[in-house]
Structure 1
Amino acid sequence: MLRSFQVTNHRSMAQPQELRLTRSRTAVLPAPVTAIHGAAASGKTSLVDGLAHMRDAVLHSVTRWDPYAGPVRRPHLAHADEPSEFVAMFTAEGMPYTYGFRLDNTDVLAEWLHCHPHNRKRVVFEREGDQVRIGATFEAVRYGIGAIAPLVRPNALLLSLTGQLPAEALMPAYRWFAGRLDIHTGPGDPQTVAHRLGAHLTRSPDHAARLLMLLRSTDTGITDLLIAAHDPAYADYLTELDADITGAAAELDACLNSTERARALEQTHGLTVFGLEAELENLRAARDTLYERMVSRRGVGLGLVHEGIDTPFDIADESAATVALLRLLPPVLDALDTGRVIAIDDIDTYLTGDASDQLIQLFQNPETNSRGAQLLFTTRDRTLVDRGNGRSQTRRTTVWQLRRTATGVSELTPK
């Protein structure tokens, strides 16, 4: 669950801009849909890219940033020598957190992680330059944080190091960025789209049937999707993983619906609901990795059957609108299944208004969004925000406006 995101000095966001996904500062739960409307070049992509940059910094600053250069950042051109800052408030494994960091052209100036049990702030760690302070409440796990703190480079994030050297107190926040936040910008490469589509379709017959039903309801003309059979060298492993994923998902649903079942799980296996959720994410990631290795050898074998045409289409033969829809359907359905946050920049650039509206309504409808998934999208089309989904907009959608000032700075305001 993402409650708010604040960014300073990233691309056109020169001044601090805060996006709240709740309808008010005191609201307990965020709205399932957050729409950001703005004209071309108003800063919509800068905002979504800022969230993507924060996630990528957490996941990759240790492994992919040049150890002999400054932190990777994209400041406003008129403020190139001023720091950039990113702050997110989110709930990970049942605990509210605030995480943020500040960068300049040479180092990570500051980094902090706070948790908020019962609305009380507790410091997990606070970093200023090369000094790291561990909160008093976390003295019992000081060794975990304290052991990795001296290993972090001045131009990398301490939380990022948790991906290589796990520290128990930091893992929920790291896992949230790694597995609960999905961001989509640009049109998408057709072959990459085919790989993710194939991975989604082959997980279970239910996945394939639901995606095909949604696809048939749009004006693409596609009536069926064909996928090559699994390579025998991988088939047994994929089948075992799919069975494990199905079993773990069923157990998770049972535990979420019954406190007695959750208590029995912890007593029998020493595993909490959040631990089971993390295990399920690991199984899904392993399955995706194995599938990607298989298709890298022989391709996905994806064929798209159109009404009245005998020969299946290759994805490269499809229109930009169809590829855009095929790109978004798997991550949207995955977000609904797992309660993830998904951010989509310019959702209607390639999709039709009806297709975009259909995706939005999947998040607004409590029946199709029973796990608390969140959709954050940007659009130039105000009518997309106000159209048929307006029946639930007052309760289930927050709307923000972006505009660009005469000085080339983006400003974000609630509507």
Structure 2
Amino acid sequence: MNLSKLFKEFYESEKAGGLILLFVTIISLALANSPIQSSYISFWQYDMGGHSITHWINDALMAVFFLLIGLELEREIYKGELSDIKNASFPIIGAIGGFLIPAAIFLLFNYGTATQAGAGIPMATDIAFAIGILSLLGNRVPVSLKIFLTALAVIDDLIAIIVIAIFYTKTLVWSNLLLALAVFGILLILNRLKVKSLIPYLLGGVVMWFFMYNSGVHATITGVLLAFAIPFGNGDKKSTSYVLQHFLHKPVAFIILPLFAIANTSIAIGADWQNGLGEANSIGILTGLTIGKPLGIFAFAFTGALIGLCKLPKDLKWKNIIGVGFLGGIGFTMSIFITILAYDDVALINSSKIAIILASITAGIIGYMLLKWTLKPNAQE
């Protein structure tokens, strides 16, 4: 199986980015619990234009991350794994299980309580972290498994985007939303008119972000809409979509996601931090990511194959899918992102972040060990 140059580029940047995320998270947690704790945490809350630095990272820079995810999803639909329904059905069905079961487990502990809004937290997968862990296995990893995990994570993010748009919109200003959609419509017209210059799309994207931000719908949705407005053409190296996707890989992997991780893991961990792990919210996150994710991905994919809706790639075994299912439980940045939208209470947000970090580490270690055990050395690339 051959990988496109852009997929290899995406995979490599996410692989390196995942390892960087791990490093900066450790550094951030260490600084947030060091003698400079107060000044370090205060820095990220510094007011800029009426909002904190963290707020601008979460609402503005993360829109660029979602733009890249949208471009990757668009390419997967037109030319990649998702372009063939027979190939696409396997990761799609796995992804459906990977968000339904974790959410159900979370609600099992939290339904009817003030924390039930956090059901979206264990749904998501951190692409960079998951690919980073998979990359540690080197040439053991078959190409088909790389594609499955990447497609699964991209679909997971698409589902997370839909969840954010539908369930985490607290107030809706219709006038601004309609203006944002009007800008989107204009960009689609430019696409149809075969305007290939990136400038009008990027300028339109900024305007669309402004109106979306002031509509109540989370502004990062703008990134995905903009991705599908940008001309894909035939998808070659000269296409507008390809050029932008190629440009964004490194800034997103090495600047935007690390900044998000640093800003959102500046958590002062108290002496009694472990007490929060016994709360229903934390239990829901921990079990949702470490049990719900692998169970949902495996059970739905296996059932889908059993009834003929999809099929397991010939060079993979079901125990490989269980291992990747655990890697799907690395929620980290995406789960933290949804946490910030779900809750307003700072203490609850911080206890949720600790649960996410612990669950992601646990799922990552188990997934790595299972795949190391189940994959043969020197798998063919």
Which has the higher relative contact order, 1 or 2, with Cα contacts under 8 A spaced 6 or more apart? 2
TM-score, normalising length from structure 2?
0.27
Larger Rg: 1 or 2? Answer: 1
The structure that is strand-richer by fraction is 1
The structure that is helix-richer by fraction is 2
